[in-house]
Structure 1
Amino acid sequence: MSETNAERIRKHFNSTGDVWPSDISFLIEQAERAQEFELNFKSLQHEWVSAVHENRRLRGALEFYADQEIYAKGYFQQTVLIDCGRTAHQALEQPK
């Protein structure tokens, strides 16, 4: 297995305490890539958290209407008809 640039630079630095000038641009490029990955990760993490919250909101509305006890015990008119879709509208209108 061939040695990567990073491994070669690390090995040289560990043995001499020095970095070749030709490797500095590679190291700068890697640092920039790491920053870009970190920003992308934070953005994706934020999107994921937002999606989880939206999922919980919508699931709550679905569970309200899917509750078997409402239908089995005859609470349909007292619960669902009186609600008039308010629970679903609230879940859909909340910001994502």
Structure 2
Amino acid sequence: MSTQHLNEPPFDVSFDLDGKRVVYLDCRNALMCSKETFAAMMGVSVDTVISWLQTNTIPSVKMGRPRVVNLAQIRTDLAKGKTVFAQGDYTDE
């Protein structure tokens, strides 16, 4: 089994719907991503993304110990016309 070491985002390790580990080299189709990858995609600091997660400004999912950004929910909301992500938008999740 070979291991691929990636040094430049966007890339991430996630799981597909069957629970199999997936390495995304391009997160455009990923269901979720780490806060580091999301920060790189958005061009903001990781601290900014952590703040967005803590204030429920962006959707997230708890995957074991880490909390990951729910890209699928962001895409769904954007497709429905959401243009502003404000503090507390995702408190019920």
Give TM-score scaled by structure 1 length.
Answer: 0.20
Tell me which protein shows more helix as a share of its residues.
1
Tell me which protein shows more strand as a share of its residues.
2
**Based on CA coordinates, which of the two structures has the bigger radius of gyration?**
1
Give TM-score scaled by structure 2 length.
Answer: 0.21
